[in-house]
């Protein structure tokens, strides 16, 4: 029987990673040593094969164990160097559990096991490495790390040949992963509607990622943060239900605009309706008023005051 050291197909190392994730335990030391010796050889594998193998590992319960093993045997450095750079990279001076790598493994582990969410959890903080700054009082900041991480992901996406929809989703999730955690109860309904409109294409995945990104060990802090996200989700659904029963703009507003301003049916009517919706969402106009109420605003948009 062939030993791991004698195998010629380097994809076996990723199968070991899957086994680690499924069984939630590290392999024997000789297996790890053999994998380390074969790490560079995996560059010969198709990126599609590597991506698929990693994805099978990512959705397993013991993914955190497998991720650590990938680092230990050198595969993380070969295939995910931007993630390797987070190992021992502190978020707070003197606090090992605030290491970006340790945080990332925890986020991946406690995220829902959907591929897109797990990939986004894995990569959401890669932008922290190039953005870390220190203040004179010992504070640590990562200004705009989500934007930087989203740009860095372009290289990762090419390396693994993500298809266009998955690439767009993952970049979006990395870019916006902080936004749901910024919610508080003082947000107006207009602000919640605007948040929903801007993020709705990936809202479920984004909220699930944000829940997983809460890793504080302080008593009550994690519970309060999770409660806030649940409240945001509930408000979004309530407003969607309300708007489905009675939209913010009156039925037939497009016909009213065409008749009042002598406009022909065209794309301009849709643009004017969207501008009214934005004005309602921002609080500039009130929702659910009679059609005539909105005509003064349309007149301003058309320059016919």
**pLDDT for residue 4:** 55
Q: Calculate the average pLDDT of the chain.
A: 92
**pLDDT for residue 136:** 84
Split at pLDDT 50, 70, 90, the class of 244 is confident
**pLDDT for residue 137:** 81
Mean pLDDT of 279-287: 89
Closest CA to 177 of 144, 154, 141: 144
Task: Determine the 3-state secondary structure of 140 from DSSP.
Answer: strand
Split at pLDDT 50, 70, 90, the class of 7 is low
**pLDDT for residue 3:** 53
pLDDT tens column, 40-69: 999 999 999 999 999 999 999 999 999 999
**pLDDT for residue 274:** 93
**pLDDT for residue 282:** 85
Q: What is the phi-psi region of residue 252: left when phi exceeds 0, alpha when psi lies from -120 to 50, beta otherwise?
A: left
Q: Does residue 99 carry a pLDDT above 50? A: yes
CA distance 41 to 37: 8
Q: Does residue 185 carry a pLDDT above 60? A: yes
DSSP 41-70: GGGGS-HHHHHHHHHHHHTSTTHHHHHHHH
CA distance 119 to 108: 8
**pLDDT for residue 1:** 36
C-alpha of 216 from chain center: 19
pTM for the model: 0.83
CA distance to 16, 178, 281, per residue, from 68 (Å): 12, 25, 46
pLDDT tens column, 189-231: 889 998 998 998 899 999 999 999 999 888 788 999 999 999 9
């Amino acid at each position: 029987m062939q030993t791991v050291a004698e195998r010629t197909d380097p994809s076996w190392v990723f199968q070991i990673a899957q086994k680690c994730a499924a069984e939630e335990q590290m392999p024997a030391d000789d297996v790890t040593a053999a994998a380390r010796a074969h790490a560079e050889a995996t560059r010969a594998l198709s990126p599609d094969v590597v991506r698929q193998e990693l994805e099978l590992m990512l959705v397993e319960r013991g993914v955190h164990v497998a991720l650590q093993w990938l680092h230990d045997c050198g595969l993380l450095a070969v295939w995910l160097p931007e993630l390797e750079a987070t190992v021992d990279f502190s978020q707070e001076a003197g606090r090992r559990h605030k290491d970006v790598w340790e945080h990332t493994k925890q986020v991946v582990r406690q995220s829902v096991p959907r591929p897109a969410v797990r990939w986004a959890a894995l990569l959401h903080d890669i932008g922290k490495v190039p953005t870390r700054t220190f203040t004179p009082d010992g504070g640590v900041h990562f200004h705009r790390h989500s934007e930087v991480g989203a740009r860095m992901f372009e290289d990762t996406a090419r390396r693994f040949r993500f298809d266009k929809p998955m690439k767009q989703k993952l970049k979006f999730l990395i870019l916006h992963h902080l936004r749901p955690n910024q919610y508080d109860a003082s947000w107006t309904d207009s602000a919640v509607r605007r948040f929903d409109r801007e993020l709705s294409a990936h809202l479920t995945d984004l909220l699930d990622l944000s829940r997983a990104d809460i890793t504080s060990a302080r008593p009550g802090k994690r519970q309060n943060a999770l409660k806030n996200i649940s409240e945001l989700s509930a408000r979004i659904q309530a407003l969607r239900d309300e708007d489905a029963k009675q939209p913010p703009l009156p039925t037939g507003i497009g016909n009213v605009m065409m008749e009042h301003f002598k406009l022909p049916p065209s794309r301009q009517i849709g643009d004017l309706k969207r501008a009214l919706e934005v004005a309602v969402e921002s609080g500039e106009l009130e929702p659910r008023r009679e059609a005539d109420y909105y005509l003064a605003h349309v007149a301003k948009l058309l320059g016919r005051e």
